[in-house]
Amino acid sequence: MAPANEFPGNIFFYLVILGFGAFFALTVIMRLIPFVQGKRVSRLDHLPARVRDFFLIMLAQSRFFRRKYWYSGILHVFIFWGFMVLLIRSLNLLLDGVSADLSLQHLLGDVYTAWRPVMDLFNVLVMVGVGMAAFQRIFIKPERITINRDAWTILSLIFLLMVTDVLGNSLEIFRERGDKDYFSFFAFGVANLWDTVGLGRGTAEAAHTVFWFSHLVILFAFLDYLPYSKHSHVLTVAFNVFFRNSEPTGVLQPIDIEGIMERAEEGATFGVAKVTDFSWKQMLDFLTCTECGRCQSNCPAFLTGKELSPKAIQHAGRVALLANTPTMGSILRLSPAVPRTNGEPPRPIDTMGFESIWDCVTCGSCQYWCPVMIEHVPTIMDVRRFLVMDEAQMPETAQAALMQIEQRGHPWRGTTFTRGDWMEGLEVGLFDGSQEYLLWVGCSGALSERNVPITQALAKLLIQAGVSFGVLGDEEPCCGDPARRLGNEYLFQMQAQQAIEVMNVKGVKKILTACPHGYNIFRNEYRQFGGNFVVVHHSELLAQLVQEGKLRPREGVEQTIVYHDSCYLARHNDIIGAPRRVLASLPKARLVEMERSGMTTFCCGAGGGHMWVEESKGEHINNARTKEAMATGAGVVATACPFCIQMFEDGIPALEPDEEKRMRALDIAELLEVAVAARGKEAAAPTSDLSAAGEEVSAGP
């Protein structure tokens, strides 16, 4: 028997539902307007995986069970599961308000009764969760969390919902004394309290009415408030998880350059100039960000004192999106439409900021930690594309790097090598279609002073193991990765098409590369332009050759080695075990790990084109990572990426002036070569000499 079943309660009941309901519906419709104008993308592929991830990530809250944020994980799981569980009670309340015969208690009988203890348990757990959250925000105050009036409003509303629920429930039990009421054990306990204090029947009835209607109003007020709050993820997260990115995280989507040129008259731009250039999914991301700050706390740029915060980017996106959305006030002509400068609403670049857009190293750490599946990197890169291709606005170093690729076909200005120099003295032949692998040497592998010895070490190992491979030599173009990461999609597409053509003409089927960026681009992105190849990273092949006995590490490598995971290898492409298997095969080597390793690896700082672009301010990212490696006490830091190793070679002397004490930086191929120490006539000295005290090797430009 609900207070809404008869006059005047029922009037109020329907007024609340209709009034708040209408407001909510209007809000949703207004909010959907820019979504309809946004870019169309399809996220209906891999449906079984989407359903699976919906269960795992959203319902089972899998990302909240990570150790790093265990405290927040517990409190969120309590509150979220509580919400799901207590939806049943809310539904029951609404139906009961219409008629007792419609209530779930009536319709489902014992099934509903069995659910009652679960709901009461979660009444308690939600309040515990809110308490934990309040404690965290008052006393611990982690930097990542946004604590403002909005945040406290949400917490208070949740708490009030629980309080009104429990109290209303307890008063109903007190009044009606159903025989199964003890199932609602918590409310039952509170009802006994009313007994003890001798609550009068009239007071009980009045109090029950108050709490019942309060719960209803707060529920609907909460619903209506959500879209206007940073807590709107409650409404959007189910969609954001279901429509998540299904490709590897390191992938950027192509732009239809020709198509946009044709629509240039209508104002079409290559990157994201205005907020409706974003896709509906990117807009959904903005509304799903709860500003929890896990992304920010794991962003190498933010952690080293730069402008960029991925959370701030999402917030800025939201500001720009809402500025392009009609508001209730503007529809009712109560308030001006939007804060405008020169008659135009703010653009994403205005709210996000030039420096932040350029600080990003595309390491993907933000996306790994985000519990609601926001895709930070492509959003930043889309604005970067606008800056580069539409506005030609970029840091000088970025411009120089792009000019190099355009004019010279590689980004390594000042190199004294040609693409064939590394082959001198080695029996490496050109690829002619008869070999199994094309060894893609890469611009770094051929032209960068530090990387040439690595290419040579790898080639020697391959020759010794009898691997069938060839190279492109002088015909090898730049794969285009730096162009794409620097935002010049046009230059990238030209390079990619050129590279794909060269490889297809020669009949390349399998590509072997020592570069994770090349690996990522050949394996995951070239197919966007019709290039389909089997791609193998050198760590995978070397691990396999060792396992098959084709390479036998026998010479001791008496070093403590710490392995640094390249972002593009580990986080973006799941290659974590293979390099470690190579290192584990080195006799007498002792392996140690950094805390931020594997999927949580910390970027060396060279991603996103930053191998060539100066950092804006703060500590150098590579120095921060070098410090971390040095703190393990290892004598050697092992890498499997031509960028990472150059970053360490820069950082090590910067942090340790005494040459004798320096950590060495070596590629896994170089280490393996020392251990394998070729027998027979290929027994030239290994390319690296571990016994020599740290030679100073100059890194890139």
Which spans of this chain sit near another protein (rule: CB under 8 A)? Answer: 257, 261, 264, 270, 389-392, 394, 396, 399, 402-403, 407-409, 413-419, 474, 490
The DSSP string of 582-628 is HHHTSTT-EEE--SS-GGGPPP-S-TTTTTTS---SSS-HHHHHHHH
Nearer to another protein, 486 or 676 (CB): 486
CB 328 within 8 A of CB 27: yes
Least Cβ distance, residue 325 to another protein (angstroms): 29
Least Cβ distance, residue 442 to another protein (angstroms): 16
Least Cβ distance, residue 216 to another protein (angstroms): 56
Least Cβ distance, residue 399 to another protein (angstroms): 5
373 contact partners, CB below 8 Å, separation of at least 6: 57, 240, 241, 244, 245, 288, 367
Q: What is the dihedral of CA 684, 688, 694, 700, to 10 degrees?
A: 130
Least Cβ distance, residue 416 to another protein (angstroms): 4
Find, among 436, 419, 427, the residue nearest to 459 by Cα: 427
Nearer to another protein, 12 or 529 (CB): 529
Least Cβ distance, residue 415 to another protein (angstroms): 7
The DSSP string of 251-278 is ------HHHHHHTGGGT--SS--SGGGS
CB 159 within 8 A of CB 101: no
Separation CA 451–CA 448 (nearest Å): 5
Nearer to another protein, 287 or 357 (CB): 357
Task: Walk across the sheet containing 664-667 and list its strands.
Answer: 590-592, 560-563, 636-639, 664-667
Least Cβ distance, residue 358 to another protein (angstroms): 14
Separation CA 633–CA 503 (nearest Å): 44
Least Cβ distance, residue 469 to another protein (angstroms): 21
Least Cβ distance, residue 564 to another protein (angstroms): 31
Nearer to another protein, 82 or 395 (CB): 395
Least Cβ distance, residue 484 to another protein (angstroms): 14
Least Cβ distance, residue 424 to another protein (angstroms): 11
Least Cβ distance, residue 405 to another protein (angstroms): 11
Least Cβ distance, residue 472 to another protein (angstroms): 12
Nearer to another protein, 94 or 398 (CB): 398
- For CA atoms 640, 646, 647, 648, give the dihedral sign: positive
CA angle 415, 416, 417 (to 5 degrees): 90
187 contact partners, CB below 8 Å, separation of at least 6: 120, 123, 166, 169, 170, 172, 173, 181
Nearer to another protein, 150 or 391 (CB): 391
For 386, counting Cβ atoms within 10 Å of its Cβ (0-12 exposed, 13-18 middle, 19+ buried), the class is buried
Nearer to another protein, 212 or 270 (CB): 270
* Beta bridge mates, 534: 510
Least Cβ distance, residue 363 to another protein (angstroms): 26
Count the alpha carbons within 13 Å of 630 in the hemisphere toward its beta carbon: 18
Question: Which DSSP letter does residue 360 get?
Answer: -
Nearer to another protein, 150 or 406 (CB): 406
Q: Is cis: bond before 579, omega within 30 of 0?
A: no
| Helical packing angle, 70-98 and 149-176, nearest 10° | 50
Nearer to another protein, 253 or 399 (CB): 399
- For CA atoms 408, 411, 413, 418, give the dihedral sign: negative
Count the alpha carbons within 13 Å of 600 in the hemisphere toward its beta carbon: 14
Nearer to another protein, 195 or 258 (CB): 258
Nearer to another protein, 146 or 269 (CB): 269
Nearer to another protein, 230 or 384 (CB): 384
Find, among 609, 600, 606, 620, the residue nearest to 306 by Cα: 620
Nearer to another protein, 402 or 672 (CB): 402
Here the tokens at position 129 are: 């969760």
Nearer to another protein, 142 or 409 (CB): 409
CB 539 within 8 A of CB 668: yes
3-class SS letters over 638-693: EECCHHHHHHHHHHHHHHCCCHHHCCEEEEHHHHHHHHHCCCHHHCCCCCCCCCCC
575 contact partners, CB below 8 Å, separation of at least 6: 516, 519, 537, 539, 540, 569
Q: Give the distance between the most distant pair of CA atoms in the chain.
A: 103
Here the tokens at position 475 are: 């015909």
